[in-house]
Structure 1
Amino acid sequence: MVNNSGVQCSGDRSNNKGLTGTLPSLIGNLNQLTTFFFGPIPDSIGSLQQLVFLALNANSFSGPIPPSIGNLSNLSWLDLTENQLNGTIPVSSGSTTGLDMLVKARHLCFNWNSLNGPVPSNLNNLTSVRELDMSNNSFNSSAVPPWHTSLEALTTLYHLNPHHLLI
């Protein structure tokens, strides 16, 4: 057991309560964050400029995907699977950024959320994406977006069916 400044961390990593403060912007990898986080993903996540790997899957995050994630220009892996996220996939427009700016991304997973609206055509900018999973959401269309053919590196696409948007 580690006890540092009043924060106790048990060996099984399931009792890490009492952490406060900000995350340094030099963090490069955040993974295995399956720790029952809940509430909105903070917009400040977009300030972690060195982040390469972000796996927030299997938590209870709710609300929209923060457009600020589009500021993570080094991000190659984004997994938001199995949360309670809703709203549309944010894309850049005017002064706001969006996920279409993640040009180094190779793995994008948004499955098992409550995302809705159209699948943004701006995602055709993500030519490095190898895996794109948007299944089990509530998008407006059951058709695979025609722009998916412009994703030259794409090897795996899980998308839509009329009921749960799954291929």
Structure 2
Amino acid sequence: MPPLSLPEWIVLSLIDEAPAHGFAIAALTGEDGEIGRVWQVPRPIVYRAADRLTAANLLTVARTQAGDRGPQRSILTATEEGSAAVADWLARPVAHVRDLRSEFLVKLALMTRRGRPLTRLVAAQRAVLAPLEPALARRRTEATGFAAVLAAWRYENASAALRFLDDLT
């Protein structure tokens, strides 16, 4: 399977929930959309992602339907491989604190839409981040100059992320 970008994972996950056309996905990922409030995916990127996911055999065209005012719409559905990839991705914690704001929050939103409990993912995420805090605290006390500023920034971000995860449980 090719590596996927966050917009591609979002599109694949939403179509895995229920067959849909690109315009419907773009509405969910737009500025006012349910997922767009967390991470926006512009309409052209949604269509590009759908094309790439179809070429990778993660999505397939289930049927077409007449558009309201335009061309026919392709209703996409996830393949078995696509559904399995989504299940694995949604269960996997992110590797870096910086990815909490984007990928992790998107996963929480997508899992909530599916009615899935968040506890396992939150616990797995905490397990990934918890070992970082003491190491970052050490760096913070040992560093000088700008390295001390950067170490303090990283420590505070990791600490805040852990508090956030604790609040979710």
Q: Using structure 1 for the length normalisation, give the TM-score.
A: 0.24
Using structure 2 for the length normalisation, give the TM-score. 0.24
The structure that has the greater radius of gyration is 2
Structure (1 or 2) with the greater strand fraction: 1
The structure showing larger relative contact order (alpha-carbon pairs under 8 Å, at least 6 residues apart) is 2
Q: Which has the higher helix share?
A: 2
